[in-house]
Amino acid sequence: MTAATATTADIFRPALHYAARNTWLNDPNGLIFHGGVYHLYYQNNPLDNVWGNMSWGHATSPDLVTWTEHPVAIACDAEEDIFSGSIVFDRDNTSGFGTDSAPPLVAIYTSAFKPGSTHAGLQAQSLAYSRDGGYTWTKHTANPVLSRGSAEFRDPKVIRYDGGAGSYWVMVAVEATDFQVVLYRSADLLSWEPLSTFGPANATGGVWECPDLFPLPVDGDPGNLKWVLTVNLNPGGPNNGSAGQYFVGDFDGTTFTSETTVTEGLQDPDKLGEYQWLDWGRDYYAAVSFSDAPGNRRLMIAWMNNWEYANQIPTSPWRSPMTLARELSLRTVDGSPRLIQQATGGFEALSGAGQSFTLASTELSDCTRVLDGAAGTIQRIEATFTPGDADEFGLVVRGNGAHGTRIGIRPAPGTLHVDRRTSGRTDFHASFPSIDAAPIRVVDGSYKLTIYVDRCSVEIFAQDGQVTMTELIFPAQTSADVAVYALGGTATLKSLDITRFA
């Protein structure tokens, strides 16, 4: 089959997010800021809008919101599929793929070898390089450069380690079915020696995939750096299916030591809710961060889908969007280091941006109130509530009469919910219509929600980014109402600000 053509109205194509023009995508790969633009490579089927023919697609953006699609960067061939991986700017030309005056970009990806290959059945790490700033790529002739004789060794993220132990490349990858992150080091990206392993720990309800490792200052103090190890897993997320967890601790150049591990070894099912999650929603997977982001910012993008129903979501001719980019920081919460995440990107430059709707403090008492003048399909909603005696309060977005996506807070159990059971099209997979929950706690007497709504998604950053939930929705174009509600009592909507992006 050739790439799908636009036969149905493309009503779900996102405005704030990247989606390929007319093909399938999954994991973000090789995220790097280089040559003044953000490069987003991704798992791509160049020939269809379901998973297969895995190659690296490519898009660039000046602002993380408006993206330009480019030709396929690294294509599969008869020998191998090109699975997930990363890109580094080899400044000192340690690999020799460039010259000292024109150092190369080097991609480190997983070769998923096909039955006809001499390496059939193996997954091993391979290299490709670019001498034109990331637009065209050449595979290294002596691939793979790192094999463990394993069929489940994949998703290398390479970083430059510069610390007490020296200066060298470090790779984190996974032995997926062993729930283990494996660490290697190299001077030249070509030959690798083992450093250590991490795991199993915390969530192990599914294979471990797409790890990342990076330092962040705690509470903004550059003298107090901690390391964050992120690991995606599928299935086994807190609300079923694909999700990402993280650990915070130290990396001494050899070993990552976690200080946030709840369970050593295999998962304790009773403790799933105690583990640290990058996102509690159903559609935040394969998250990985940019190399060389300006200003030393730690920026992350995930695939906005879930392997439970990924190939069935009702979009055409493309399938699967990426999430918004997020900026990550570490803050001490109740004595423990926790990731704080905020959406980032050039939203304000979008045409139509800035038309806003504001509501002054409003008492809600056992009611649902559709807000005149607040409707929209692409918007940022910032709402602050203080609880009264209502069991639940919150908002309904992309609504129309009885339908919509309900985003609610229940103070007594301390939960944030996304209910997408009547969000629009839900019939394409039995596990899609869901009500999902995350733990949330009151901060200074109130609950603050920042919600990015797009044509097929909601991304919720609660309590200034302490808790996030990302979910796909497939509403009718005419479902654009915003409502606020309180059930079984009172709550106060202290403030509401809506920015419309289109």
Q: How far is the CB of 136 from ligand FRU (least distance, A)?
A: 22
Q: How far is the CB of 220 from ligand FRU (least distance, A)?
A: 33
Please give the structure tokens belonging to residue 214.
């990076």
Please give the structure tokens belonging to residue 43.
């798992």
Q: Is there binding between residue 26 and ligand FRU (CB under 6 A)?
A: yes
Cα separation, 187 vs 173, whole angstroms:
17
Q: Is there binding between residue 436 and ligand FRU (CB under 6 A)?
A: no
Cα separation, 187 vs 343, whole angstroms:
35
Q: Is there binding between residue 83 and ligand FRU (CB under 6 A)?
A: yes
**Annotated catalytic, 221?**
no
Query: From residue 249 to residue 288, what is the string marking binding to ligand FRU with x (rule CB under 6 A)?
Result: -------------------------------------x--
Q: How far is the CB of 210 from ligand FRU (least distance, A)?
A: 6
Interface positions, 132-171, toward ligand FRU (CB under 6 A)? 154-155
Which CB sits closer to ligand FRU, 156 or 337?
156
Cα separation, 85 vs 27, whole angstroms:
9
Please give the structure tokens belonging to residue 251.
């990396």
Which CB sits closer to ligand FRU, 27 or 392?
27
Q: How far is the CB of 187 from ligand FRU (least distance, A)?
A: 26
**Among 126, 146, 122, which residue's Cα sits nearest to residue 138?**
126
Q: How far is the CB of 91 from ligand FRU (least distance, A)?
A: 27
At 411, the amino acid letter reads: P
At 106, the amino acid letter reads: V
Which CB sits closer to ligand FRU, 154 or 326?
154
Considering CB under 6 A, how many residues would be counted as binding ligand FRU? 12
Query: In the chain, how long is the greatest CA-to-CA distance?
Result: 69
Q: How far is the CB of 123 from ligand FRU (least distance, A)?
A: 8
Look up tokens 């935040």; give the residue.
284
Interface positions, 183-222, toward ligand FRU (CB under 6 A)? 209-210
Interface positions, 97-126, toward ligand FRU (CB under 6 A)? 110
CA 476 to chain centre: 25
Which CB sits closer to ligand FRU, 27 or 279?
27
Question: Is the Cα dihedral 19, 22, 28, 29 positive or negative?
Answer: negative
Q: Is there binding between residue 23 and ligand FRU (CB under 6 A)?
A: no
The set of long-range contacts for 67-76, using a CB threshold of 8 Å and a minimum separation of 24, is: 67/18, 67/40, 69/20, 69/21, 70/135, 72/44, 72/46, 73/30, 73/41, 73/107, 73/134, 73/135, 73/136, 73/137, 74/41, 74/107, 74/109, 74/128, 74/137, 74/139, 75/46
Q: How far is the CB of 113 from ligand FRU (least distance, A)?
A: 13
Q: Is there binding between residue 80 and ligand FRU (CB under 6 A)?
A: no
Query: From residue 283 to residue 322, what is the string marking binding to ligand FRU with x (rule CB under 6 A)?
Result: ---x------------------------------------
Interface positions, 28-47, toward ligand FRU (CB under 6 A)? 43
Q: In what order do the strands lie in the sheet with 68-74?
A: 24-34, 37-45, 55-61, 68-74
Q: What is the dihedral of CA 14, 322, 52, 89, to 10 degrees?
A: 130
347 to 19, 452, 482, 486, 499: CA distances (angstroms): 17, 11, 20, 30, 10
Pick the binder of ligand FRU from 23, 55, 84, 111 (CB under 6 A).
84
Which CB sits closer to ligand FRU, 84 or 499?
84
Give me the active site residues, please: 27
Give the footprint of ligand FRU on this chain (CB under 6 A).
26-27, 43, 54, 83-84, 110, 154-155, 209-210, 286
